[in-house]
Amino acid sequence: MKNLLKTIELFDTTLRDGTQGEGVSLSVDDKLRIASRLDEFGINIIEGGWPGSNPRDQEFFQRAKDLDLIQAKICAFGSTARRPSAIESDPNLNALLASETPVVTIFGKSWLLHAEKGLGLTKEENLEIIEKSVAFLVNHARRVIFDAEHFYDGYRDNPDYALSTLNAALNGGADTLVLCDTNGGSLPGFIRKATEAVVDKSDAVIGIHAHNDSGLAVANTLTAVETGATHIQGTFNGVGERCGNVSLGTVIPNLVLKMGLKTKTSVNLETLTPLTHYVYELMNLHPDDKAPFVGKSAFAHKGGIHVSAVMKDSRMYEHIDPNQVGSKQRVLVSDLSGQSNIRYKANELNVELNGSKDLPRHLVQRIKQLEYEGYQFEAAEASFELILREEQGTFKPFFEVLDSRVNVSYDQVGHNRADVMLKVVVDGEIEHTAADGNGPVNALSRALKKALVRFYPELNSVKLTDYKVRVLNEQEGTQAKVRVLIESSDGENTWSTVGVSANIIEASWQALRDSLNYKLLQTRDKILTK
């Protein structure tokens, strides 16, 4: 394995290839923020965009000059010239120069099908364009990375011609040749065979750019590295066109932790999980809980036997220490739980069981019964903590609703209105209040807070940030039970609660009640610990 004697160069294209993914959009400010975080993490080259394609990327490159980067280099992306006779006047190549980046990536066609049918070029014209385009940029003191687009498909179709496109780039002065699985359809065995053919014939730096259309982008990238590739291109969270690019959040820990390879700059691997979540947040995408290494579920344990084992030695069911990638071990509570799950969660929540054997056993049975009825505590840990503390005897509800009435009305133009009347008692004192809203749940939430803030002003900071409803037994039609999951936040912390009923208002009320009780319990605990 030739790469074992070399270091791995990490090339990120989240800001360019990643933004071509469906539903992905980044402002210039977003791209600048992500670039700074990628630099801090240890990415070597950050591909910022295609300056010849849109004003947004042009602005990014102009403003990126003011970034105070530690070690990363900003890279502009573009294509080879369109005609071999008009290299110096080509608008795309000149836009790359105008971006003033020290590194430039250009792609050229390595698959004869694309050169002839896509661009209408002869074999010779395509090779001439590649060589002259690279040389033009090199002569202007740029480091040129050549992306051999569709290389693996081209090699499968005509190996000699695919290799000749790489030679053309080398003749022009490119110092890095990137083999692209642009359609994402190659298998690891073929990746190995084709990459070996390049590595054996060239002393240039060889890279891999893999797409995930067959679900093999990570496998193909690691295979190319084993074969000799030392330049890795990818995106964080695997965003990108169609099924996306290879995920650097998966590739990098495999390279460092599993293959023992060194990167050109040491990566801050313990910040990997926060970085991936930061990128999700700026892209307004929901994180992939199942993502290897960095997903919420990557080190989550549900079965009682598993939990019992990891409490003794986490290596039994965890392939690495989660702290190595900035993640953490989680234990879920469900109908598959055993007493080990309860003891783990109690310890995590700082709830003393005082050596009790009956409490965990009783609580396991209660949780199993509630989940049988439709409750789910994996995503509603605040509700679980209330149950745990109630069983322990350290919690009782801070308020009680004596009466409630919900009225929903509609007018002829489709507007709806909800009114709620509540009678709430706190420490023997009754508060009677009403509120309206754009729906019954919104009105109920506003009325409940309105009734309680006189007693508990800290509830003013609580906001409902997410609301999900799931029908549990669809075959029952309108009589079916629903499960409501509510996420709440006070600006500093976020927590989730659950309610279940055949009445969606009642299920929502249960989750709202737990949410406010949890906030008050946390406030009380803070006061007691001061």
CA 34/CA 14 separation, integer angstroms: 9
Is the pLDDT confidence value at 529 over 60? no
Q: Of 392, 424, 447, which residue is a domain's last? A: 392
For the stretch 369-405, pLDDT in tens is 777 777 777 667 888 888 888 877 888 899 998 888 8
By the 10 Å C-beta count (0-12 exposed, 13-18 middle, 19+ buried), 245 is classed as buried
Degrees to nearest 5, angle at CA 334 with 332 and 335:
150
pLDDT, averaged across the chain: 88
Q: What 3-state class would DSSP assign to 103? A: strand
Residues 190, 210: contact at Cβ < 8 Å?
Answer: no
Those residues with Cβ within 8 angstroms of residue 158's Cβ, 6 or more apart along the chain or in another chain: 112
* Residue 468 domain-assigned (yes or no): yes
Q: Are residues 323 and 443 in the same domain?
A: no
pLDDT band at residue 52 using 50, 70 and 90 as cut-offs? confident
| pLDDT for the residue numbered 370 | 75
Neighbours of 425 (CB within 10 A): 14
Q: How far apart are CA 452 and CA 71, in angstroms?
A: 53
Residue 155 falls inside a structural domain: yes
pLDDT tens-digit readout, 248-306: 999 999 999 999 999 999 999 999 999 998 998 888 888 898 999 999 888 877 766 67
Statement to judge: residues 418 and 383 lie in one domain: no
Helix (H, G, I), strand (E, B) or coil at 434: strand
Which domain, by its residues, includes 462?
Answer: 400-529
Residue 412 in domain = yes
Would you state the structure tokens that stand for residue 123, as one six-digit string? Answer: 């074999």
Spatial distance between the Cα atoms of 84 and 134, rounded to a whole number of angstroms: 12
Query: Does the pLDDT of residue 195 top 60, yes or no?
Result: yes
Full 3-state SS string of 426-488:
ECCEEEEEEEEECCHHHHHHHHHHHHHCCCCHHHHHCEEEEEEEEECCHHHHHHCCEEEEEEE
pLDDT digits (tens, 9 = 90+) for 241-257: 999 999 999 999 999 99
Please give the tally of structural domains in the chain.
3
Question: In the predicted model, what is the mean pLDDT of residues 114-143?
Answer: 93
SS3 211: strand
On whether residue 244 sits in a domain, the answer given is yes
In this prediction, residue 413 has a pLDDT band, given cuts at 50, 70 and 90, of low
- Of the residues 373, 392, 411, the one at which a domain ends: 392
Q: What are the structure tokens assigned to 473, written together?
A: 């037994």
- CATH number, position 168: 3.20.20.70
Pure H helices in 11-102 = 28-41, 55-64, 91-98
374 and 409, same domain (yes or no): no
pLDDT confidence band for 84 (50 / 70 / 90): confident
Tell me, yes or no, whether 256 and 182 share the same domain.
yes
Angle at 79 between CA 74 and CA 84, to 5 degrees: 135
Rg (CA), the chain: 29
What is residue 15's three-state secondary structure? coil
Query: What's the pLDDT score for residue 233?
Result: 98
**Is the pLDDT assigned to residue 338 strictly greater than 60?**
no
Residue 247, domain member (yes or no): yes
**pLDDT bucket at 198, cuts 50 / 70 / 90:** very high
Q: Evaluate whether 456 touches 520 at the Cβ level (below 8 Å).
A: yes
Specify whether 436 is located in the same domain as 485.
yes
Q: Would you say residue 277 lies in a domain? A: no
pLDDT, position 127: 97
Domain assignment present for 174: yes
Same domain, 132 and 161: yes
Predicted local distance difference test score (pLDDT) of residue 272: 96
The most distant pair of C-alpha atoms in the chain lies apart, rounded to whole Å, by: 91
Residue 422 sits in a domain whose CATH number is 3.30.160.270
**Are residue 388 and residue 409 in the same domain, yes or no?**
no
For residue 292, tell me if it sits in a domain: no
